[in-house]
Amino acid sequence: MRATGRRLCAFVFTVLAAGCGGKFTGGGGEGSGSGAPKQAANTNGSAGTFGAASAPAAEDGGALTDAPSGLPSVVAVGGTEGGAAPIFVGPSSSSMPESPPPSQAHLTTLAWGQICPWGMAVDATSVYWTDCGDPTGGTVQKVSKTGGAIVTLAAGDVLSGITVEGSNVYWVARTDQGSGGAIKSVSVAGGTPMVVAAQSGAPSHIVADASYVYWGDLNGGGVMKAPLGGGAATMVAPAASAFQIALGDTAIFWMDLPGLMTAPKTGGAAMSLASGFISLPPAGLAVNATTVYFSAGPPNRAGISDVPIDGGAVSSIASTHASIGGGPIAIDATRVYWADTSGAVYAAPQSGGMATLLAIGQDNVDAIAVDDGAVYWLVNGNGSLGGVMELPLSAVAW
């Protein structure tokens, strides 16, 4: 497991007054996939990957005792908490799917050889990511969605979250893992990076709209924002340890030690949307005009859930065994895409329906994104090399 994950986890669990145990990283958790993927020729000139032939057993090595017996490996999803019995994605035995789905044959490696890929963003033409550079010397990089050369846009510091807004890339740069750093930006075409805002705490994930860039402070500094063109940072809302963060039209959402939180983008009191689970760095978060989608690490609320943006009943999109848990999330107009901490990548309709297994053996997925043509994710490698993966949506048998 990479050092950034260990330190971030150690910080979170220090606040919780509990030990980390090496189980949670900043993105995909402690998966145990089979290492670097097998490579094959690809029509776009980049390397393709067929992933591992098999995926690991559940982390605790035991049977999925909470799941009903006889379930197929892909099952219907949806249903409100407290209603029908929990619905599980995955087989009802101790092992994960043994064979890659047909879509895995179309999986493309856009970039490989990354030491510590951490955050990811996409625009119309490119995929952008940070290689964290733990303990020093991170990079902001991009690659065309059609493959080709990797372009380095910036280097230095310890990097984590990244986002794209308009013609600029914004990212979190820290001088160390605990304090100090800045929010920086550079043109998507390259150039001289600029400091958008200095930040004295421990910034993590980052998002932006047409006017401001927003980020969470792991060190209790709250949810912050600053003008895209640079300026003083102001607090949107207090927060104990904000890490994942997402934007709606008028509100901001984040994962915190108390659970899933929200506040107006213009500033104001924070409100809890969902609680009763432990929100840890493997968690994912995404929002559309009506709904917030989130995942939680084990042991509570493991899997994918949703809740109305204004509050209400929490529903289960997909549940997994408590020792596996959900990882990063992305959404398009109709589906939720996520990776769990076993190294499997899934998609399911937002309205409920059948979950589709997209890939297995994707060790330690730290980030996931989707556009009209493909779903993308970062494979951290869990101690070995990682990279940027692309799966065309047209290759999936929905």
What pLDDT is recorded for position 351?
A: 80
Which tokens go with 5?
């994950």
Around 84, how many Cα atoms within 13 Å sit in the side-chain half-sphere?
A: 13
Domain 117-275 has CATH 2.120.10.30: yes
Task: State how far the Cα of 156 lies from the Cα of 184, in Å rounded to an integer.
Answer: 11
CA-based nearest residue to 255, from 199, 302, 293: 293
User: Tokens 């932006």 — which residue?
Assistant: 208
Give me the numbers of helices (H) and strands (E) for the chain, helices first please. Answer: 1, 32
Q: Which position has the higher pLDDT, 333 or 59?
A: 333
Task: Inform me whether the pLDDT recorded for 297 exceeds 80.
Answer: no
Contact 202, 219 (CB under 8 A): yes
pTM of the model: 0.79
Q: What pLDDT shows up at residue 55?
A: 30
Residue 109 CB partners (closer than 8 Å, separation 6+): 37, 39, 46, 47, 48, 49, 387, 388, 389, 390
Per DSSP, the three-state class of 15 is helix
63 alpha carbon, distance to own chain's centre: 27
pLDDT > 70? residue 77: no
Closest to 112 measured CA to CA, from 393, 378, 391: 378
Quote the pLDDT of residue 135: 64
pLDDT at 206 over 70: yes
Give Cβ neighbours of residue 179 (< 8 Å, ≥ 6 apart). Answer: 200, 201, 202, 219
Pairwise CA distance, residues 245 & 205, whole Å: 6
Q: How many whole angstroms separate alpha carbon 344 and alpha carbon 42?
A: 22
Please give the residue that has the higher pLDDT: either 42 or 176.
176
Roughly how many angstroms between the first and final C-alpha of the chain, as a whole number? 33
List the beta bridge partners of residue 187: 168
Residue, of 94 and 121, whose pLDDT is higher: 121
Looking at residues 341-368, what average pLDDT do you find?
88
- Model confidence band, residue 84 (pLDDT cutoffs 50, 70, 90): very low
CA 265 – CA 52 distance, rounded (Å): 43
In the DSSP assignment, the letter for residue 388 is: E
Given strand 234-237, what is the order of strands in its sheet?
Answer: 203-208, 212-217, 222-227, 234-237
Per-residue pLDDT, averaged over 309-331, amounts to 82
Strand partners, 308: 291
Q: Considering only CA atoms, which of 293, 306, 309, 346 is closest in space to residue 324?
A: 346
**Cβ contact 378:120 at 8 Å:** yes
Residue 213 pLDDT greater than 60, yes or no: yes
Per DSSP, 4 falls in state: H
The β-bridge partners of 212 are 227
CB burial of residue 167 (10 Å; 0-12, 13-18, 19+): exposed
Quote the CA–CA distance of 294 and 303 in Å, as a whole number.
8
pLDDT score, position 322:
61
Provide the pLDDT for residue 127.
98
Asked if 131 contacts 116 with a C-beta cutoff of 8 angstroms, the reply is: yes
Look at residue 56 in the predicted model and tell me its pLDDT: 28
Indicate the domain borders of the chain.
Answer: 1-108+329-398, 117-275
Q: Which two tokens stand for residue 41?
A: 């020729």
- Pick the more confident residue, 277 or 389: 389
Assess contact for 391 and 108: CB atoms under 8 A: yes
